[in-house]
Amino acid sequence: MRPLIAILCLLPAVVLAQSNPAALAARQWRQQHERAIVQELMTLLAIPNVTSDRENVQRNATSIMQMMERRGIATKLVSVAGANPLVFGELRTPGAARTLVFYAHYDGQPVEPTEWATPPFEPVLRNRAIENGGAIVPVAAAGGTIDPESRLYARSAADDKAPIVALMAALDAIRAAGLNIQSNIKFVFEGEEEAGSANLEKMLAANKDLVAGDLWLVCDGPLYQTRQQSIIFGARGIATFDLTVYGPRAELHSGHYGNWAPNPALSLARLLSSMKDPVSDRVLVEGFYDQVEPLTALEKKAIADAPAIDATLMDEFWLGSTDGRPHTLNELITQPSLNIRGMASARVGSTATNIIPASATATLDVRLVKKMTVQRTLDVLRAHLRKQGFFVVDADPGADVRRAHPRVAKLALLRGAEAARTSMDLPISRTVIRTVESVRGKTVSLPTMGGQLPLDAIERATGARTIVIPMGNHDNHQHSSNENLRIQNLWDGIELMAALLTMELK
Q: Which of residues 435-474 bind a second copy (CB under 8 A)?
A: 449-452
In the window 360-379, what residues touch a second copy (CB under 8 A)?
Answer: 360-363, 365, 367
**405, 428, 438, 460: residue in contact with a second copy (rule CB under 8 A):** 405
The CA radius of gyration of the chain, in Å to the nearest whole number, is 25
321 binds a second copy (CB under 8 A): yes
Q: Find the part of the chain contacting a second copy (CB under 8 A) among 144-152, 240-248, 434-442, 489-497.
A: 240-248
d(CA 232, CA 228): 13
Closer to a second copy by CB, 159 or 495: give it. 159
Indicate whether 386 belongs to the interface with a second copy (CB under 8 A): no
Q: Which of 132, 80, 84 is nearest to 108 (CA)?
A: 84
Check binding of 430 to a second copy (CB under 8 A). Answer: no
Q: Is the dihedral of CA 253, 258, 264, 266 positive or negative?
A: positive
Tell me if 113 contacts a second copy by CB under 8 A.
Answer: no
CB of 463 to a second copy, least distance (A): 25
Contact between residue 245 and residue 271 where contact means Cβ atoms under 8 Å apart: yes
- Stretch 124-143: interaction string toward a second copy, x if CB under 8 A: --------------------
Q: Report the SS3 class of residue 505.
A: coil
Specify burial of residue 426 (Cβ count, 10 A radius: 0-12, 13-18, 19+).
Answer: middle
The single residue among 80, 176, 298, 332 that binds a second copy, judged by CB under 8 A, is 332
Number of residues engaging a second copy in binding (CB under 8 A): 90
Cβ distance to a second copy smaller for residue 1 or 395: 1
Regarding 497 and contact with a second copy (CB under 8 A), the answer is no
Minimal distance in Å, beta carbon 356 to a second copy?
6
> Which one among 149, 214, 281, 437 touches a second copy, defined by CB under 8 A?
281
Q: From CA 422, how far away is CA 123, in angstroms rounded? A: 36
CB of 159 to a second copy, least distance (A): 12
Instruction: Determine how β-strand 230-232 pairs with β-strand 74-78.
Output: unpaired
Distance CA 283, CA 301 (A): 25
273 binds a second copy, rule: CB under 8 A = yes
DSSP class of 113 = G
Tell me how far apart the alpha carbons of residues 246 and 256 are, in angstroms, rounded to a whole number: 19
Q: Does the footprint of a second copy cover residue 256 (CB under 8 A)?
A: yes
Contact residues for 311 (Cβ-Cβ < 8 A; gap 6+) = none
CB closer to a second copy, 30 vs 474? 474
If one asks whether residue 8 binds a second copy (CB under 8 A), the answer comes out as no
Amino acid at 236: R
State yes or no: residue 354 binds a second copy (CB under 8 A): yes
Using CB under 8 A as the binding rule, the residues of this chain from 198 to 217 that contact a second copy are none
236 binds a second copy (CB under 8 A): yes
Cα dihedral 313, 319, 320, 326, rounded to 10, equals: -50
Taking the complex as a whole, the smallest distance from the CB of residue 433 to a second copy amounts, in Å, to 22
Q: Is 280 in the site for a second copy (CB under 8 A)?
A: no
Nearer of residues 238 and 501 to a second copy, judged by Cβ: 238
The CA-based dihedral angle spanning residues 162, 167, 173, 177, taken in that order and rounded to the nearest 10 degrees: 160
* Residue range at the interface with a second copy (CB under 8 A); choices 59-67, 290-298, 327-335, 484-492: 327-335
Q: Give the C-alpha separation, 165 to 46, whole Å.
A: 14
Rounded to whole angstroms, the Cα distance separating 182 from 97 reads 9
251 lies in the site for a second copy, by CB under 8 A: yes
Q: What's the gap between Cα 212 and its chain centre?
A: 23
Nearest residue (CB) to a second copy, 435 versus 481: 481
Q: Is 253 in the site for a second copy (CB under 8 A)?
A: yes
First to last CA, the chain: 39
- Choice between 180 and 351, CB closer to a second copy: 351
Q: Which of 168, 295, 346, 411 is close enough to bind a second copy by CB under 8 A?
A: 346
Q: Name beta bridge partners: 237.
A: 368
Q: Which is it for strands 99-105 and 215-218: parallel, antiparallel or unpaired?
A: parallel
Task: Determine how many CB atoms are found less than 10 A away from the CB of residue 480.
Answer: 15
Our CB check for a second copy shows the closer of 145 and 354 to be: 354
Which residue, 124 or 275, has its beta carbon nearer to a second copy? 275
